[in-house]
Chain A
Amino acid sequence: VSLVDDLRSEFHAALAGATSPAAARALRDQFLSRKQGKVTALLKAVGAAPADERRVLGAAANALKQDIEAALDAREAELAASAPPPGAVDVTLPGRLAAPGRRHPLTQVRERIEDIFLGMGYQIIDGPELEDDWHNFEALNMPPEHPARDMQDTLYLAAPVPPMSAGRPATLLRTHTSGMQIRYMEAHKPPVRIIAPGRVYRRDNFDATHTPMFTQVEGLVVDEGISLGDLKGTLNTFASQFFGREIRTRFRPSFFPYTEPSAELDVECQGCDGKGCGLCKQTGWIEILGCGMVHPAVFEAVGYDPAVQTGFAFGVGIERLALRLYGVDDIRMFYENDLRFLGQVPL
């Protein structure tokens, strides 16, 4: 009888581990198979037992056999009930998709800026990256030998090339997007409400905040009676929409040859909410763009009457805003094209 009890414990220990249909089947074979089953062997042994024990032993062995059969049936039914339907797949494996492509972060910032101004009724224009001296400097109130030309160290072509559209041969890489203002005003009568994005070039050495090529968005509004107040209202709206919340700004007087008055726009530092931190050199402010009222000499250069027309212009550096938006501290990252970097921006 103790043999029967031992076999029962052995079976139950094995049953606990039989969690697949195959294991249950193996267990059935192990205990109940006609040839080598352990219970079958026990039943055979009953015949050989002394007559007085045979009845008790036989009853116990038969009871064990029925128990095992019942337990295995139950387990197999249980396993069958939880079996996956035919054709089931492992849904936890990754899906099949081509790796998605993303727009470059500088493009994303640029389009974000463009979209804000599109919403304010601006036309987006483009223009050549190779410029002539007139469009890049002279028409912008920077005659030859003007000291302000030093503010923008220019890259010149070794030899002039034909212009993109009719006009003077191109001699230099544009140092700012402002040339597009001139081209637009030369071709269109006021009122004007445009933005002009594009790459610009300066002979600046590489460091964490400078590359010899960078991207700007130029804006220009000309109409009768445009004021510095209009410039403020427009750029305040832009700053709030760009950063996605109402944000404090300040306009500091500055100097650009093509605007008068000129200003620089600071926004409160995103890193410290204007309290002062390393990012803003403890000032609480981050400079994001230069702007001003169009200089009358610029209007004269394009044949507009400065006694009638007034206007404002601004130039936003895209890299500078991208650094803020993505929390990146080195502008050079944008030009390395490391896919591990580019893959982190939103789709």
Chain B
Amino acid sequence: VKAPLTWMREFAPLPDDAAAVASRLGACGFEVASVDGDVIDFEITANRPDCLSVYGLAREAATAFDVALTSGNASLPDPQGKALLPVSIGDAGCARYAMAVASVTIGPSPEWLAARLTAAGVRPINNIVDITNYVMLEVGHPMHAFDLAKLGGPEIRVRRARDKETLVTLDGVTRTLDDTMLVIADRERAVAVAGVMGGAGSEVSAATTKVAFESAWFLPASVRSASRRLGLKTEASARFERGADISAPARALRRALQLLTQTGAGEVTGGISDVYPRPAAARTVELSRARLARLLGDTVPDTHVERILAHLGFTVRGAADGWSVDVPTFRVDVAREADLIEEVGRHWGFDRIPATFPALSAVPRPMSPAIARDRKLRRILTGAGLQEACTFTFIEREAAEPFAADADTLVPIANPLSEKFAVLRPSLLPGLVDALVYSRRRETADVRIFESGAVFSSAGETTSVGWLLTGARLSHWSGDASPADFFDARGIADLVSAAFGVTVSARAATRPWFVPGRTAEIALGDDVLGVVGEVVPALLAARGLPAGPPVVGGELALAPLVREDAGAPRRITPLPRFPSIVRDLSFFIGERLPAAEVRGTIRSNAPPTLVSVREFDRYQGKGVPDGMISLSVRLTFRDNDRTLTDVEVQRSVDAILAALAARHGAILRGKTE
């Protein structure tokens, strides 16, 4: 809100230095957006509607500078006589309605008044409308003027709108109302949306000779709801929905009448009608001296407590252990002791309060498992050469759908910023694909990225880690620049599982976003944790990826991994005291036989002394029969209680080979030690 200092100075002898006033109020909770000559632009927080006014700000400034504030109330006119316009309130959404009628001569406002409006950012319109705006800017209370000749009856009825009732508002828009909205109506129809905007039909125009000034109080929730439903925010609605001063309507109206006479715009006829059926009860809040000191961590002298509160308009009486404080009606934000403590604190000065450090009264608890998990993941994956990415949680439907098990399980946002952010990500991969494309199109050929975070479906929110790799594993002058393939993606899954102390298995699977034949499910026991594979090139092309090496990646659900990794240190087994015996076997075997099955056959036909089985070569081509591959495995045998003999190991190897031949038709190529 823009407040000209000269205007504020009409109410308090403040220093004639806009920068000084701005800076002092800035330290009391009124952030200053700018100071332009005499005009200070304050950013008023939502709890202080009373300071959406020159007078409210003058009150704060008078408190800050410890100078007296004048009310100007004594000189306000108080016309007596019969009110000329009947007013009836038919809904609790309006708690007070004051009205006065005046004969007017429409014309421009005097220059000083127009200049003040302009300085405060309001465009002058005509002398009557300008008076209502002037009062709103000065007192903070919104007013409205109707052309009396255009009111049916004439009379004023405050009521709910009828469903589908229409009203052309001052901005020329035809509004369709509903029965949740409060309107001001004449005998027949709505003439204003209460507290939001007047109607065009009763607008004050050059031909107007009699006006009805409205100064009312509407329930904040009612105004807010109507303003939101109509998508119409005004200076009036902003003030009413934050809470206007229920004591203000009559005073604002009298101020308007004073200006009417003062500017020669017209004269009041008849008295003021002020319908205020249930006057607000006075609110008293107790302030304890001890709690004031305890919450601030500082002892404010009593004289300062009393001075600050009195300056701000509170009525302070001493009580046994502090004060009884009557809250003025304009302070809609003050309801309890903490609110008063804030008032004292901010005018005492937060900067004067000594900085202390809270004592630890309980032993700190360990960080949540999810936080520890994410830290570990980042340590492991960055160590493996993957860059952490940070992509948006909401993505476009087009990007999400290819990665969703079922488009119906996507979670759409009701009011997205745009179509680009329409649904919550069902997987980390679509965001990573876009990030990878972004870098590939900007001079980065080799991309290795990961992200961990929340993913969403209609079943709710879970967390996972995803990764994508493309281009050279290692870029070096010595020429080793082979591109990442399926097994690099698989390796990351193995690494993540190892980091959480679990052994996962992989099995061939299909997913629409991965190339068939290069897709695997990663499982922990019977639980599928996720999938790894080579991303379908057409899908990448659709996201703008230029041609290049394959893009491989994967995604794992994190909750099961953390459950397994309960944080207990794992036992380390003592090192063997007896030597192991190693046998390398190479054999021809069917090309379609999964290595896992070969491994299974070996293990199930070997004694417990077989401690490890590891594939170390796989070859297909010259010298290998059609439809077969040459597979080489290294078997390690060890007994922890004695030294094994060659003879018994050979017996085990023979049994294994026999089983491989019998079950899979394996043909031994000879030992390759």
- A is bound by B: yes
A contacts, CB < 8 Å to B: 93-94, 96-104, 106-107, 111, 114, 118, 121-126, 128-130, 145, 147-148, 150-151, 155-159, 161-164, 170, 173, 191, 193, 197, 199, 201, 203-205, 212-213, 221, 223-230, 232-234, 236-237, 250-255, 257, 260-264, 293, 295-296, 310, 334-340, 342-343, 347
Question: Considering the chains assembled together, what is the distance between the CA atoms of A205 and B417 in angstroms?
Answer: 7
Using Cβ atoms and an 8 Å threshold, which residues of chain A touch B350?
Answer: 228, 232, 250-253, 261, 263
Are B296 and A164 within 8 A (Cβ)?
Answer: no
| B461 contacts partner chain A, Cβ-Cβ < 8 Å | yes
| B413 contacts partner chain A, Cβ-Cβ < 8 Å | yes
Question: Considering the chains assembled together, what is the distance between the CA atoms of A101 and B220 in angstroms?
Answer: 54
In angstroms, how far is the closest chain B Cβ from the Cβ of A297? 8
Query: How large, as a class, is the contact surface on chain B?
Result: 35 or more
Are A170 and B27 within 8 A (Cβ)?
Answer: no
| B392 contacts partner chain A, Cβ-Cβ < 8 Å | yes
- The chain B residue sitting closest to A334, CB to CB, is B390
* Chain B 47-61: CB-based contact to A (< 8 A → 1; otherwise 0): 110000000000000
In angstroms, how far is the closest chain B Cβ from the Cβ of A69? 42
Are A100 and B345 within 8 A (Cβ)?
Answer: no
Question: Considering the chains assembled together, what is the distance between the CA atoms of A242 and B221 in angstroms?
Answer: 42
In angstroms, how far is the closest chain B Cβ from the Cβ of A243? 17
- Top 5 closest A-B pairs, CB basis? A229-B297, A227-B297, A253-B29, A255-B45, A261-B342
- The chain B residue sitting closest to A105, CB to CB, is B390
Contacts of B528-586 to chain A: CB distance below 8 A: none
Are A123 and B364 within 8 A (Cβ)?
Answer: yes
B contacts, CB < 8 Å to A: 26-29, 31, 45-48, 220-221, 224-225, 241-242, 294-298, 336-339, 341-342, 345-346, 350-351, 353-358, 360-362, 364-368, 370-371, 375, 378, 381-394, 411-417, 421, 424, 435, 438-439, 442-444, 446-450, 453-454, 456-462, 473-478, 480
- The chain B residue sitting closest to A123, CB to CB, is B365
Residue A101 contacts which of B28, B368, B370, B387 (CB distance < 8 angstroms)? Answer: B387
Question: Considering the chains assembled together, what is the distance between the CA atoms of A255 and B355 in angstroms?
Answer: 21
Residue A103 contacts which of B367, B371, B384, B388 (CB distance < 8 angstroms)? Answer: B388
In angstroms, how far is the closest chain A Cβ from the Cβ of B397? 12
Are B415 and A156 within 8 A (Cβ)?
Answer: yes
Question: Considering the chains assembled together, what is the distance between the CA atoms of A221 and B359 in angstroms?
Answer: 11
In angstroms, how far is the closest chain A Cβ from the Cβ of B56? 15
From A124, A129, A156, A260, residue with most partner B Cβ within 10 Å:
A260
Are A129 and B461 within 8 A (Cβ)?
Answer: yes
Using Cβ atoms and an 8 Å threshold, which residues of chain B touch A99?
Answer: 385, 446, 448, 475
Are A121 and B364 within 8 A (Cβ)?
Answer: yes
Using Cβ atoms and an 8 Å threshold, which residues of chain B touch A263?
Answer: 350
- The chain A residue sitting closest to B365, CB to CB, is A123
- The chain B residue sitting closest to A180, CB to CB, is B368
Using Cβ atoms and an 8 Å threshold, which residues of chain A touch B475?
Answer: 99
A–B Cβ pairs within 8 angstroms, 9 of them: A123-B368, A148-B47, A191-B362, A201-B393, A230-B297, A253-B29, A260-B341, A338-B444, A339-B447
Tell me the interface secondary structure of chain A in the complex: mixed
In angstroms, how far is the closest chain B Cβ from the Cβ of A129? 5
- The chain B residue sitting closest to A202, CB to CB, is B417
Using Cβ atoms and an 8 Å threshold, which residues of chain A touch B392?
Answer: 212-213, 335
Q: Given A229-B356, A253-B29, A337-B391, are A145 and B225 neighbors across the interface (CB < 8 Å)? A: yes
Using Cβ atoms and an 8 Å threshold, which residues of chain A touch B473?
Answer: 98
Question: Considering the chains assembled together, what is the distance between the CA atoms of A327 and B368 in angstroms?
Answer: 32
Are A98 and B355 within 8 A (Cβ)?
Answer: no
Residue A338 contacts which of B26, B365, B439 (CB distance < 8 angstroms)? Answer: B439
Are A104 and B388 within 8 A (Cβ)?
Answer: yes
Q: What would 17 more interface pairs be, CB under 8 Å, given A145-B221, A147-B241, A228-B345? A: A123-B366, A126-B371, A150-B46, A151-B46, A156-B414, A157-B413, A157-B414, A170-B461, A173-B394, A193-B362, A228-B350, A253-B27, A261-B342, A310-B295, A339-B387, A339-B444, A339-B449
Are B355 and A193 within 8 A (Cβ)?
Answer: no
Are A101 and B382 within 8 A (Cβ)?
Answer: yes
Are A253 and B28 within 8 A (Cβ)?
Answer: yes
Using Cβ atoms and an 8 Å threshold, which residues of chain B touch A213?
Answer: 392-394
From A125, A223, A227, residue with most partner B Cβ within 10 Å:
A227
Q: Given A157-B414, A162-B460, A250-B351, are A96 and B367 neighbors across the interface (CB < 8 Å)? A: no
Are A111 and B375 within 8 A (Cβ)?
Answer: yes
Using Cβ atoms and an 8 Å threshold, which residues of chain B touch A129?
Answer: 393, 454, 461
Question: Considering the chains assembled together, what is the distance between the CA atoms of A251 and B459 in angstroms?
Answer: 44
Q: Given A121-B360, A340-B442, are A252 and B27 neighbors across the interface (CB < 8 Å)? A: yes
Are A233 and B390 within 8 A (Cβ)?
Answer: no
- The chain A residue sitting closest to B364, CB to CB, is A121
Question: Considering the chains assembled together, what is the distance between the CA atoms of A273 and B241 in angstroms?
Answer: 41
In angstroms, how far is the closest chain A Cβ from the Cβ of B123? 25
- The chain B residue sitting closest to A171, CB to CB, is B414
Are A262 and B415 within 8 A (Cβ)?
Answer: no
